Each structure stands twice: as structure tokens, then as C-alpha cells.
Amino acid sequence: KAGVTQTPRYLIKTRGQQVTLSCSPISGHRSVSWYQQTPGQGLQFLFEYFSETQRNKGNFPGRFSGRQFSNSRSEMNVSTLELGDSALYLCASSPGTSGGDEQFFGPGTRLTVL
Amino acid sequence: AQSVAQPEDQVNVAEGNPLTVKCTYSVSGNPYLFWYVQYPNRGLQFLLKYITGDNLVKGSYGFEAEFNKSQTSFHLKKPSALVSDSALYFCAVRDKTGGYNKLIFGAGTRLAVHP
């Protein structure tokens, strides 16, 4: 089975721009979660999508948004980029039907905001 | 509030020696606990989980973890460390107030195994 894939792997943007990151989950997985990883704040949950609906949301401003398509692929968007948005963005997939399921992570997208 | 603590920023071990990476948690009710490992420029790889049952959980690459309810701990262990085990290790607990797939992560512990 193919793992979780994320594109692009690296991005460089300037302040004020917007960015879209993509995640393709493991085949058959209906849940996709997004996390932000920074040296200062560690790993923080952004949101989770299940069957095209946002099921959970972390404590991030409205500039961070996402969506999920009928094939379970997910995108997250960050508008009006700030320097502090520089981070590794990780997506994770799971079947999504049990809280005990482990999540499988992609390699991440490293976003640098200049 | 639900939380996870990894009290050590770094653990240094000689190759062949046993290793322990510590994790304590604070969550209401029975916890769902996870360990992940991250290698440089990579995503997180799942090692093991505790949901219910045996307190000693065995996982990938020879790792195991012991769930201790009275001490609210879930320490990661391996009997004999390898240099290739050097990486960043994260303990996580499922946030029960946030639905299925919201994980709360510890700050991470960097494991350095010396030849």
C-alpha cells in the first residue's frame, strides 16, 4: 500500500501571500488530519476532515483552512502569510472510525515565509 | 486540561545498552497513548500504542512501552539500543474532548545512541 503523500515538499513564499498544500491519504482511509510543527511550539493540531466534513479544529486563526474531496484527498490553505507560519506541515491519515486507530503521517511540506 | 509531558529534552545511551524515554500524561478517563519517531526531514512513524489490555505493549523495531495508570506514565523502552535508533521521539495522547483524531503531543525527546 502506498503511504501518505504530500505535495509540494518545499515552499518558499513571502509575507501576505497565500499557499495551498495537498495531502493524499492511504487508500481506504477517510480521515485526514493536519499538524503544524515548529521548533518553538512543537506539534500542534490544526484540523481533521472525515468524509469531506471538518470534524475537529485546533486553536489556529481563520487564515488556516482546509477541505477534503470525495476521494479523501485533502488540501489546506493559509492566507495572508506571516513569518510565524514558517513550519513543517504534516498530514496524517487513518480509517477514522475508531479513536484507537494510529495515524500514518506523510513526509511533510516545509513552508518558509520570507 | 489534557496534556503530555516528556521531561527529558535529550537522552544519551551507549549502543547495546537499554534505553528509556519517559512520558507522563494527564487526561480524564482511560487514555489512548501513542509513541512516534521522527527522523531528520521525515514525517512521524508510528511505533506503538496503548488502548486497553496488557500494560506492556510491544511495537516496531524492538521497542516496547509500559503503561502505568497509578503513575500516569507511558515510558518507551528498548533492551539494546542501536545507533540507528538515534532520532526524535514523541509521546501523544488522544484528546478525548476533540473527537477521534486530535492528538496532543509532548515536546519530544532527542535520543542519541553513541557507538
User: What's the angle, vertex CA B40, arms to CA B34 and CA B46, rounded to 5?
Assistant: 20
Radius of gyration of chain B (CA): 14
Separation between Cα atoms, residue B8 and residue B23, nearest integer Å: 9
From the CA atom positions of chain A, what is the Rg in Å?
13
**What is residue B60's three-state secondary structure?**
helix
End-to-end CA distance of chain B, in Å?
41
DSSP 8-state secondary structure symbol assigned to residue B61: G
Cell readout for B9 is 529534552
The reply to whether residue A48 touches residue B102, judged by beta carbons under 8 angstroms, is yes
Task: Say whether A56 and B104 touch across the interface (CB within 8 A).
Answer: no
pLDDT, one tens digit per residue, over B54-103 is 999 999 999 999 999 999 999 999 999 999 999 999 999 998 776 667 89
Q: Given this model, what pLDDT does residue B41 score?
A: 78
pLDDT band for position B43 (cuts 50, 70, 90): confident
| Nearest CA-CA distance, residue B32 and chain A, Å | 6
- Chain A CB contacts of B34 below 8 Å: 102
Nearest CA in chain A to B102: A45
Averaged pLDDT, A32-54: 95
CB contact (8 A) between residue A45 and residue B36? no
Mean pLDDT of all residues in A8-21: 98
